[in-house]
Chains A and B, each alone.
Chain A
Amino acid sequence: MSTDLTTGSGADRAATGAPGRDPEGPDARRAARREGWSRRLPLLPALIFTILVTQIPFAMTIWYSLRSWNLLRPDGETFVWFRNFVDIFMDSTFRGAALNSIIITLGCVFAALILGTLFAILLDREFLGRGVVRTLLITPFLIMPAATSMLWSVSLLNPSFGLLNWVIGLFGAGPIDFTSQMPLFSVIMALVWQWTPFMMLLILAGLQAQPKDVLEAAALDGAGWGKTFLFVTLPQLRRYIELSVLLGAIYVVNTFDQIYLMTAGGPGTASANLPFYIYQRAFLGFDVGQAAAMGVVTVIATIIIATFALRLIFRSFDTKD
């Protein structure tokens, strides 16, 4: 990336009067190094703070994960190496929670992305009151997840008076006790509803960011709407799609509120995802060691996924310039 000399380098040269990348002697090299640090300086507060607040607790989590520490057992803390990790992988509930995390994230992100793209295409037109309509449609994303969880589990999915049960009743289907009969599906529905507007907003921004002359050129060349979308719009939307998938996935993986409030991970542990199960082990089972071990596994899995995601981000950053 240090070879990425696009706009920034021109400015640096203008500011310093010297091509800092081509040092002629030790003095110049030292000056360049000092210059380099002065450029990093604006970054440091944010970097140090985020590392302090996330990396140190994470280091502590790793430490805890190697210790047997159950608040219910009086024998206190002992160092047990990797026993906690062995234990959690033997734990079928943990494996189930991991699977649920994957299902929820994939299901939610893809459904929301497809719906959001469709909505964005429909809204990318001129009509009266478009701004207000578009703004109102963002509402699901703004409502507190704690409140939407209540909204879904109570007024929409309740078997006796839920709106959704009333709607399927119109088609002759019997009432379904969604949160206990299909808890995972219920949670995903609530999440998709919440995340669709977010995807829509980003894709819409992408659609409106398209250079109009390219679209006009495509139209002049006789491309129909479908072809224009497939070969002109979609490639240009790539950055925005990647951004929405990435940001969506990061937050959906960490979903806790909906599960805590809609199904409490139930029935049994049928809809527990990793964050919820960790919370359960730590705050209800008081097994800090195992909870920490699960936290470590979650973070490692996240890092693996995030690496792919980051690669995508940087590729889009680089091709942009």
Chain B
Amino acid sequence: MSTVTQEVPAPPGRAPQISKAPHVRAGRRAQPARTLHGAAGVAAVVLIGVYCLAPFYWMLVSSLRRSGDIFDTTLLPSVFSVESYVKVFSGSSDFAHALVNSLIVAATTTALALVFAIFAAYAISRLNFRFKNVILAVIIATSMFPGISVVVPLLRLFSDIGWINTYQAMIVPSLSFAIPLAVYILTTFMKQLPFDLEEAAMMDGATKWQAFRKILLPLAAPGIFTTAILTFIQSWNEFIIALSMVNDPAVQTATVAISKFTGASEFQAPYGEQMAAGVIVTIPLVIMILIFQRRIVEGLTSGATK
């Protein structure tokens, strides 16, 4: 970071700082090519935005139309209506209950997967032993298993031990796909963390456990957080296990509930309710990501940039 020569004109608010610490922010700001300028850049971002968000916007708009207007193609509903949302939460749908079920399954899966994965990732990234790569390979390979190939035997096993229509019938199989993902992400992350601090702590007489708990764990917090979010989303969105293991609406998760909405009559597809339910399951996640966005971006980048 020694290129004061390339300094772009600093924004007014930043100018006084330069005399104090000339190099601190220079690296980030010092690249003219990396600042977005002109209409072309704005247009590019708008285009990306339309690509990513237009379908979502259409879902939101569709969910706010009256059931009679559902086939409209206007950019705003001609009459705003929460009819679809009312329907989602009333009557046979009982979507609120499905949401609670999803939350229970996803939160439990995430918490358990993290506990398993943190220790595993620590061992793989910090300790040396034989067969380390073989073990890592086995763990990662299990996550590549097609979920469908274990559903049939698990279904039989779970019906033998009376687990059909229980939360654990969804949590246990989800865990076996969540753990490998979490181990992989955390291992990548922990490998990139500098080792010096732990080493220094252990020189000063800290045990391995103390070095792990007091040094590595706080350093790895952003990575753990990112992992938690990805794991949570994965199990929140899980469909095929929930579809196969549960047929009781009382334990059914939101994904299955959405796919099973039925219209008022056999010939009327419940588009409005499906769109409303889609909005409901998405908005909490978007809010969560917006609140924690700095930590997520940090989590994904801090390992490599230190």
Contacts and interface: CB of A to CB of B under 8 A. Distances in A.
A113 to B, nearest CB: 15
A314 B184 CA distance: 12
B62 A12 contact: no
B36 interface: yes
Given A139-B286, A147-B281, A126 B34 contact: yes
A291 B173 CA distance: 19
Given A40-B129, A50-B176, A138-B289, A275 B282 contact: no
Interface of A is mostly: helix
A181 interface: no
B272 to A, nearest CB: 10
Contacts of B153: 57-58, 60-61, 64, 292
Contacts of A15: 202, 207-208
A288 interface: yes
Interface string B165-176: 000000011011
A151 B278 contact: yes
B119 interface: yes
Interface in A158-174: 160-161, 163, 166
B20 interface: no
Contact of A57 (B72, B150, B297, B304): B150
A122 B37 CA distance: 11
Contacts of A145: 237, 239, 255
Which of B116, B119, B271 has the most chain A CB within a 10 Å cutoff?
A: B116
A197 to B, nearest CB: 6
Which of B3, B45, B127, B240 has the most chain A CB within a 10 Å cutoff?
A: B127
A11 B135 contact: no
Contacts of B144: 250, 253, 302-303, 306, 309
Interface string B128-154: 111011010111111111111111111
Contacts of A2: 128-130, 132
Contact of B258 (A57, A150, A295, A313): A150
B278 A225 contact: no
A125 B35 contact: yes
A155 B286 contact: no
Nearest to B137: A310
B251 interface: no
B65 to A, nearest CB: 10
A315 B278 CA distance: 41
B285 interface: yes
A208 interface: yes
Interface residues of B, number: 115
A140 B148 contact: no
Given A122-B41, A209-B305, A42 B123 contact: yes
A163 B71 CA distance: 10
A193 B50 CA distance: 12
A145 B142 CA distance: 22
A238 interface: no
B146 A219 contact: no
Which of A45, A47, A196 has the most chain B CB within a 10 Å cutoff?
A: A47
Contacts of A306: 140-141, 144
A146 B146 contact: no
B103 interface: no
B138 A47 contact: yes
A288 to B, nearest CB: 6
A278 interface: yes
A306 B138 CA distance: 11
A212 B1 contact: yes
Given A14-B203, A131-B297, A132-B290, 9 more contacts: A42-B122, A126-B29, A126-B36, A131-B294, A140-B55, A145-B237, A150-B258, A206-B304, A257-B240
29 contacts: A7-B126, A15-B207, A15-B208, A39-B127, A45-B120, A46-B183, A49-B175, A53-B150, A54-B142, A54-B176, A57-B157, A60-B156, A136-B49, A140-B56, A143-B282, A144-B237, A147-B282, A150-B271, A155-B59, A160-B71, A193-B51, A209-B304, A213-B1, A254-B146, A275-B147, A278-B149, A292-B149, A309-B144, A320-B192
